[in-house]
A and B are shown apart, each in its own frame.
Chain A
Amino acid sequence: MSVWKYANPAKFMSLSGRALPALTVLSAFCLLSGLVWGFFFTPDDYKQGSTVKIIFLHVPSAFLAINIWIMMLVTSLIWFIRRHHVSALAAKAAAPIGITMTLIALFTGAIWGKPMWGTYWAWDPRLTSFMILFVFYLGYMALWAAIEDSDTAADLTSTLCMVGSVFALLSRYAVNFWNQGLHQGASLSVDAETHVDNAFYLPLLACIAGFVLLFITLVLVRTRTEIRLRRLSALQARGAAA
């Protein structure tokens, strides 16, 4: 008989298992249609030419890079307070997705920056903050990898995530103070005057939705893998003891 020792993981596995097929299709559809819309059916910007098309990759990935860290913070807190293993494993599962999004944001930003600002890199507050975020992700993932015992790792990484979040916030202000920058203002403001033009806004929203759905799909897949891994280690430990 298959024995999932903990009720919570079992429920999670069954629910996510049922949701995944639909989610996969939905995220693929949203992502592809958003990107196709943005790439093929939007005009060139009068100032930035066709490079404005990079916005459909750059803004969603940057948006997710930050929000995935916030998700990791929330799930770390849930683990810290309520000891739900699924929560701790979800944070672990999300980190590689977050770091990939950070990389995409950094690379697309650099490529966009060269024709627009004349340089691939500048120590502008927003770029610098993303570089710092990248290093935070790296540290978090390295810590998970360095600790053998799963519960110890969950405890230490969640503490790191919480402390790190405080300092990430402090860094944001420190970096803003340290160097005022080149980067343009908000693309996603509710106020129509400050956000990008409507022709770009709607496909941009579609791309963001696509990226978010992709994240949800991937984090479910990866969390399921982590739960199975935990189950595997438990079985192997039991087998070794027998």
Chain B
Amino acid sequence: MIALFKRDVMLAFRSGGGFGLALSFFLIVVMFVPFGVGADLALLAVIAPGILWIGALLACLLSLDRIFQLDFEDGTLDVLATSPLPGEAITGAKAAAHWVTTGLPLTLAAAPLGYLLNLPQEAYVWLVASLLTGTPALSFIGSFGAAVTVGVKRGGLLLSLLVLPLYIPTLIFGAQTVTRAATGQDALSTWAIMTALSLFAMAAMPFAAALALRVNLR
């Protein structure tokens, strides 16, 4: 299982592995916001928490199909399925690898990008904290969506349609954590709820994803 995790991480860091792409996308989306809504720093400060969360979320979404697609296409997934490794271990390891190569870098990139959007001082810690414990939910929930659509040709859009509604609770509590911190309110309770959500996703989603994979590998 660790070997699988390491392998997926290595693959993502190689060229064409999607690691740099997610970060670049995050940067571009954040850049687009002032182009779209104007450069008024006061306005940007208000919407920064939401924008940063949505940008990170969308960047995560883009690389989801890589979790299973490539291995599905070249038969590696079939080999993994017949190995003694339980399905949940496979999907869990892959989801964790996705987080390390997508969610984690996005979390680190968020603080400087927050500066571009004039994020208030008090919110930085909570921005990083919320993304740190929130992005795992995105990877694990996303892995379920990826497993469901792995057999669908050009299933990227379908994947988005299925996964985005599932992201809503995480997005609401994550963005609220940062907004509350920015306005001087208590952010700990919303952060705790969001973290609990992530833990739930990490526990439950590998089973759901393994189920979907088994169906698709038949």
Q: Which A residues are within 8 Å of any B CB, using their own CB?
A: 132, 135-136, 138-139, 142-143, 146-147, 152, 155-156, 159-160, 162-164, 167-168, 170-171, 173-175, 177-178
Instruction: Flag if B162 contacts A139 (CB, 8 Å).
Output: yes
Interface membership of chain B positions 161-182, coded 1 if the CB is closer than 8 angstroms to chain A and 0 otherwise? 1101110110011001000000
- Evaluate contact between A167 and B166: CB separation under 8 angstroms: yes
Q: Point out residues on B near A: beta carbons under 8 Å.
A: 141, 144, 148-149, 151-152, 155, 158, 161-162, 164-166, 168-169, 172-173, 176, 197, 208, 211-212, 215-216, 218
Query: Closest chain A residue to B197 by CB distance?
Result: A170
Pair A132/B151 contact, Cβ less than 8 Å: no
A155 to B162 CA separation, bound complex (whole angstroms): 15
Main SS class of interface, A: helix
Q: Tell me what chain B mostly uses at the interface: helix, strand, loop, or mixed.
A: helix
**A-side contacts of B155, CB under 8 Å:** 146
For the complex with contacts A143-B149, A170-B169, A175-B172, 20 further pairs of A-B residues with Cβ separation under 8 Å are A135-B164, A136-B165, A138-B161, A142-B158, A143-B162, A152-B151, A152-B216, A155-B215, A159-B208, A162-B208, A163-B144, A167-B169, A168-B165, A170-B197, A171-B165, A171-B168, A174-B168, A174-B172, A175-B168, A177-B173
Q: Determine the residue in chain A with the shortest Cβ distance to B155.
A: A146
Q: Known A132-B165, A163-B208, A164-B166; judge A143-B172 contact (CB<8 A).
A: no
Q: List 28 A-B contacts (CB under 8 A).
A: A132-B165, A138-B161, A139-B165, A142-B158, A142-B162, A143-B158, A146-B155, A146-B158, A147-B152, A152-B151, A155-B212, A155-B215, A156-B212, A156-B215, A159-B215, A163-B144, A163-B166, A163-B208, A167-B168, A167-B169, A170-B169, A170-B197, A171-B165, A171-B168, A173-B169, A174-B172, A177-B173, A177-B176
* Interchain CB contact under 8 A, B172 and A178: yes
The complex places the Cα of A173 from the Cα of B176 at a distance, in Å, of 14
Which residues of the partner chain A approach B151 to less than 8 Å between Cβ atoms?
147, 152
Q: Find chain A residues with CB under 8 A from B162 CB.
A: 139, 142-143, 160
